[in-house]
Amino acid sequence: MFHDIYEGNIFRPPSEARSLILQATIGCSWNRCTFCTAFDGKKFRAKTLEDIIKDVDKVYPFYKDIRKIFLADANALCMETEDLASTLEYLYSRFKDLGRVTLYGGPIDIQRKSLDELKRLKEAGLQMIYMGLESGSAEVLKKVRKGATPDMMIEAGKKVKAAGIKFSVMVILGLGGQELSEVHARESAKVLSAMDPDYAAALTLLLEPGAEILKEIEEGKMTLISPEQSLKEIRTIIEGMDVTNCVFRSNHPSNYVPIKGNLPEDRAKMLSEIDEALRNSDFRPEGWRAL
Ligand code: SF4
């Protein structure tokens, strides 16, 4: 019905399943990560404020009572701050029950915004930024061409929180392969601790045809981790995360075992669930995993 307002495949965080998705930008302004094919074929552009308002007016009659909106695509935070603030203000003025608007932002996008700009977005109603940490290891980040260092990631997280915006961060189990499995998990726990995010999620690497990283695997430079190794990674991360109050989720369809809880209080429970799954080799079959 809305084929004229959506372009290509749409991706959103699992927790935005009930949200209205609106594309404020198209594609990913970075689009160089070797494991990601999500926005291949989409030439990046930011929609104009005028076009976004037209889209909102088109969907409004069908979603008058919506409470949550997610602004796609990969990094709507890269929009000009005033355009984004005006978008947020328009959304809240139109949808009277709207309680939250969220979006994805990369570390580079966050670095480019001043603290005052982020505060301006918070005032305009930006409730949460989702950021892909992917790994806390400098070596893994460099290998997968993420375009950011662990320090940049930590700075980004601290800045978002200082602006009063909720911060949700995601890591990818297995991203370093068997070769970098231990350092990937250990350093991810360290960076997550330094960020102290409100929400953290761990997905497990699942590659689509066309991902550049597949070439490395074919050439024997990287070996995919086993389900056991994925659980060992998540174990190291949960054990090492020194955080104040973090909702932790590793229950995405890509994961071999669903784990969830709040940190620090549910640490022992989650670790014992992991140990139980490891003892019983109780893993989601490979063919059942999905993105
Ligand atoms: S992982 Fe994120 S930043 Fe990297 S190419 Fe994909 S969408 Fe862009």
Give 2's pLDDT tier (boundaries 50, 70, 90).
confident
Name the nearest CA neighbour of 156 among 144, 141, 143: 141
Instruction: Tell me the per-residue pLDDT of 136-167, one tens digit each, with 9 for 90 and over.
Output: 999 999 999 999 999 999 999 999 999 999 99
Instruction: Tell me the per-residue pLDDT of 216-248, one tens digit each, with 9 for 90 and over.
Output: 999 999 999 999 999 999 999 999 999 999 999
Chain center to CA of 42: 19
Nearest CA to ligand 1 atom 6: 36
On whether the pTM is more than 0.95, the answer is yes
d(CA 144, CA 31): 11
Name the nearest CA neighbour of 278 among 229, 239, 241: 229
DSSP assignment of 164-197 equals: T-EEEEEEEETTTTTTTHHHHHHHHHHHHHHH--
Distance between Cα 31 and ligand 1 center (Å): 5
CATH number at residue 91: 3.20.20.70
The vertex-43 CA angle with 41 and 47, nearest 5°, equals 135
* Cis bond before residue 73 (omega within 30° of 0): yes
Pocket test for ligand 1, best of 36, 109, 145 (most atoms within 8 A of CB): 36
- Helix, strand and coil percent figures for the chain, each rounded to 5: 40, 20, 40
Number of domains in the chain: 1
Q: Identify whether 8 is part of a domain.
A: no
Q: What is the mean pLDDT of residues 207-213?
A: 96
Give the domain range for residue 104.
14-281
Q: Identify whether 32 is part of a domain.
A: yes
Bridge partners of 201, per DSSP, are 170, 249
Question: Which numbered atom of ligand 1 lies nearest the CA of 134?
Answer: 1
d(CA 255, CA 178): 17
Instruction: Tell me the per-residue pLDDT of 95-145, one tens digit each, with 9 for 90 and over.
Output: 999 999 999 999 999 999 999 999 999 999 999 999 999 999 999 999 999
Distance between Cα 60 and ligand 1 center (Å): 30
Residues 6+ apart with CB under 8 A from 215: none
Residue 3 has pLDDT above 80, yes or no: no
Q: Identify whether 97 is part of a domain.
A: yes
Instruction: Tell me the per-residue pLDDT of 43-80, one tens digit each, with 9 for 90 and over.
Output: 999 999 999 999 999 999 999 999 999 999 999 999 99
Q: What is the pLDDT of residue 156?
A: 98
Residues 6+ apart with CB under 8 A from 138: 149, 150, 187
Instruction: Tell me the per-residue pLDDT of 189-199, one tens digit each, with 9 for 90 and over.
Output: 999 999 999 99
* DSSP 8-state code for residue 268: H
Question: Which numbered atom of ligand 1 lies nearest the CA of 11?
Answer: 7
Q: Identify whether 180 is part of a domain.
A: yes
**Residues 163, 118 contacting (CB under 8 angstroms):** yes
* Residue in the structure block whose two tokens are 């355009």: 83
Instruction: Tell me the per-residue pLDDT of 245-287, one tens digit each, with 9 for 90 and over.
Output: 999 999 999 999 999 999 999 999 999 999 999 999 999 999 8
Q: Identify whether 3 is part of a domain.
A: no
Q: Identify whether 202 is part of a domain.
A: yes
| Most distant pair of Cα atoms in the chain: their distance | 57
Q: Identify whether 291 is part of a domain.
A: no
Tell me if 70 CB under 6 Å of ligand 1: no
Q: Identify whether 138 is part of a domain.
A: yes
Q: 8 in the Ramachandran plot: left (φ > 0), alpha (ψ -120 to 50) or beta?
A: left
